[in-house]
Structure 1
Amino acid sequence: MASVTSRHSDRRISPVFLGIVAVTAASGWAVWTGFGAGARIGVFLFTTGAWITSLCLHEYAHARTALHSGDISIGAKGYLTLNPLKYTHALLSIVLPVIFVIMGGIGLPGGAVFIERGRIRGRWRHSLISAAGPLTNVLFAIACTAPFWLDALDGVPTAFRYALGFLALLQVTAALLNFLPVPGLDGYGVIEPWLSARIRRQVEPFAPFGLLAVFGILFIPEVNIAFFDGIHALLGTLGVTDLDAYCGRNLFSFWTARQDYVCGPVG
């Protein structure tokens, strides 16, 4: 009986996560209705809350896939509760990704859950565990862009539309960057089981720096321009215009007090 109770406790959704979802829902409602002092802080809270929610689900997808692949230690570590405070590196998992968004509008989740790979058999399972996180961002991107490519934006408040556009940009960048075959990112985790032991040993020392290296490279102007041109081209195929993403980013950055006539009055 005690073990059953413990197992249920290991998988009970954390009040911390529910609180994040509640803030996201409340701020989303405020943006939709125009409630409060204006759209800018509402868009910031809604986008940040939704972004952190997606980070939690990203890590949950890794953990849940690992559990079903043989790592039964996942539950005891608290990874199935969706509580970001249970992650191995809360700084890498939550704080840095939020800072990346604030600094440059880049969606870049970091590694967080510790998976006991020795418990898992089969290269395909190892690859699937690594792919599960970015695939969650793909699903988020589909959900955020659905109103655009379904042409279902009639009646949607402008500020909320812009917030969805910026959130879609974050999810698309998160999915694409995480699938890069760079040590420390999920894309490398997908291919790592298929590499020789010699190559894995040679690459292992660079894994802790992969995330920061990618972020640093994106600050090179030519790389940044080419990268975001590609992102906006992809978003364009999904119905999200450059204006949607730009104005969403403009509203998100409420501390700049930037009033851009291109975006028009949104609160």
Structure 2
Amino acid sequence: MNDLMQLLYFLLATLVTLGLFVVSFLLHELGHALVIALLRGKEAVLEIRAGSLTFYRGKILRVGILPIWGYVRFDEENVPPSDWRLIFVAGPAASLFTAYLFLVLHHFSAMLGFPENWHQVFGIMALANFALAGFNLIPIPPLDGWKIVESWLPLVGIRLSQEARAQMNKWGMIFIMVVSFGFVAIHGFHH
């Protein structure tokens, strides 16, 4: 029976951890969506997606169980570059805000009566959200950092077609996946 309980606790911990990561991705994307709605009106937000293997499908919101990626779809072509900068910095800013919320929970979890393992989870989630904010600011397509850089390109006479942007996003995503899997293959999950 003890082995069964350990397995159940492990499965519960895995589901809770995945859930917290999905919430982190969702809050990141909601940061983008909030700024789009403030600048362009809430009807300008066409789709908000966080995670894959969708388990919730609303009018414009899709939430998946695997925290692999997320995005907000809006009419990028009709948004001025100055708005792009605000929109694409908003996701990392939301991740920083979420990281600090987890730090507060980490700091006060013992006083609030949470078990020790929750204290650790809150600390890990704070670090994960700091990492999510920093990672998204790397200027590689399709990350937020690239979108911010891309918003400055018209000022130097560079205008990317939709096809060129789609190709850059595809190859950027492939590059990110290869580097990520290579890092894990070389260093493992526990480094």
Taking structure 2 as the reference length, the TM-score comes to 0.70
1:45 aligns with 2:15: yes
Give the aligned partner of residue 132 of structure 2: 174
Q: Which runs of 4+ in 1 moved over 6 A?
A: none
Give the aligned partner of residue 209 of structure 1: 171
Residues 199-221 of structure 1 show CA distances to partners (whole Å, capped at 9, x for unaligned) of 63596221123233213212334
Give the aligned partner of residue 44 of structure 2: 74
Give the aligned partner of residue 219 of structure 1: 181
Supply the distance in 2 between the matched residues of 1:94 and 1:113 (Cα, whole angstroms): 14
Supply the distance in 2 between the matched residues of 1:224 and 1:176 (Cα, whole angstroms): 22
1:173/1:118 CA distance change after superposition, 3 Å: same
Q: How does 1:117-132 map to 2 (within 5 A)?
A: 117-121=76-80, 123-132=81-90
Percent sequence identity is 20
Task: Show structure 2 runs of 5+ residues with no match.
Answer: 49-54
Deviation, structure 1 residue 78? 6.0
Residues 82-139 of structure 1 show CA distances to partners (whole Å, capped at 9, x for unaligned) of x96359896xx746x53x5xxxxxxxx33x2211124433x32111111111221111
1:164 aligns with 2:122: yes
Give the aligned partner of residue 100 of structure 2: 142
1:94/1:189 CA distance change after superposition, 3 Å: farther
Supply the distance in 2 between the matched residues of 1:211 and 1:86 (Cα, whole angstroms): 26
Which piece of structure 1 moves more, 123-132 or 63-72? 63-72
Contact 1:131-1:190 at 8 Å conserved across structures: yes
Give the aligned partner of residue 200 of structure 1: 160
Give the aligned partner of residue 144 of structure 2: 186
Aligned length: 174
Q: Which amino acid aligns with 1:195?
A: L
1:131/1:223 CA distance change after superposition, 3 Å: farther
Contact 1:62-1:113 at 8 Å conserved across structures: yes
Q: Secondary structure at the match of 2:139?
A: coil
Structure with the bigger percentage of strand: 2
1:131/1:198 CA distance change after superposition, 3 Å: same
Structure possessing the higher relative contact order (Cα contacts under 8 Å, 6 or more residues apart):
1
Deviation, structure 1 residue 145? 2.0
Contact 2:105-2:122 at 8 Å conserved across structures: no
Q: Which amino acid aligns with 2:131?
A: T
Q: Secondary structure at the match of 2:74?
A: coil
Give the aligned partner of residue 242 of structure 1: none
Deviation, structure 1 residue 147? 4.3
Task: Show structure 1 runs of 5+ residues with no match.
Answer: 1-35, 101-108, 229-245, 247-267
Residues 172-226 of structure 1 show CA distances to partners (whole Å, capped at 9, x for unaligned) of 221111111111111111221111353635962211232332132123349975x
Supply the distance in 1 between the matched residues of 2:140 and 2:74 (Cα, whole angstroms): 19
Supply the distance in 2 between the matched residues of 1:156 and 1:60 (Cα, whole angstroms): 28
Q: Secondary structure at the match of 2:118?
A: helix
Deviation, structure 1 residue 171? 1.6
Deviation, structure 1 residue 72? 4.9
